[in-house]
Amino acid sequence: MTSPRVMTTHETYSNIAWRPGTKTKYIYLTRNPKDVLVSYYHHMAGYRAYEYNEPLSQFVQLFTKGKLPYGSWFAHTLDYVENLNNMDIFYVDYESLHLNFEKVVMRLNRFLGLRNLSNEDLESIKERCSFNRMKVDSNTNMSRFEHRRKPNSADFLRKGRVGDWEHHLTTEECANVDRVTDSYFSKTTKKFIYNLD
């Protein structure tokens, strides 16, 4: 592949291919753990390959214990949070994109060392990155894998809302996620945004 190139991955910090001194730049996008949990549940329940047929309540237990195919989301995210200064990394929350899209895009643009963006550029980027646009775009909606999905399962891009967890998780399940989140992140400055109110 010729440079520059863009690659996406769910790899852990310890497995990422990087060397100090390289010109590689990383963008790490995360989301609050409750919305991640609900989204991940619908993802696993929707694809035949995972063979997951249990209710959300069971998934909460697996998620909080890190007993899922990609391991612990909490450990994965914490590794990046603790190592932000070891890599040339742009760390951003999904929720921040909802709160101030233009500001985040401008920061990302500076991080990547690209030309200045005009207001028209920003509007175009915002439209092309909108959930509604991505939901119908075959490059982002994973429609090419539709044959791997279970009948009547949720779309790959389901809702894209911040705070949808409030419609799915019980008070007890929320408390469980909060306990685990605190056990991982209490010694960091990381604070998650759970709704936009």
At residue 86, the 3 state secondary structure works out as helix
Residue-level pLDDT at 168: 92
**Which residues does residue 91 pair with via DSSP β-bridges, in sequence order?**
28
Residue type at 191? K
Considering the chain, what is the average pLDDT of its residues?
Answer: 84
Is pLDDT of 188 > 90? yes
- The token pair at 6 is 């863009």
Residue-level pLDDT at 88: 83
Residue-level pLDDT at 145: 57
Helices within 10-148 (DSSP H only): 33-46, 56-65, 73-82, 94-99, 101-112, 119-128, 131-136
193 burial via Cβ count (<10 Å: 0-12, 13-18, 19+): middle
What confidence tier does 165 reach under pLDDT thresholds 50, 70, 90? very high
- The token pair at 114 is 């690209």
Residue-level pLDDT at 113: 92
**How far apart are the C-alpha atoms of 39 and 51, rounded to whole Å?**
16
pTM of the entire predicted model: 0.84
Q: CA of 167: how far to CAs of 18, 44, 158, 163, 177, in Å?
A: 40, 19, 14, 8, 15
Locate tokens 């991982």: which residue? Answer: 184
Higher per-residue pLDDT: 47 or 184: 184
- The token pair at 91 is 């760390």
**How far apart are the C-alpha atoms of 1 and 114, rounded to whole Å?**
20
Residue-level pLDDT at 151: 60
Is pLDDT of 125 > 60? yes
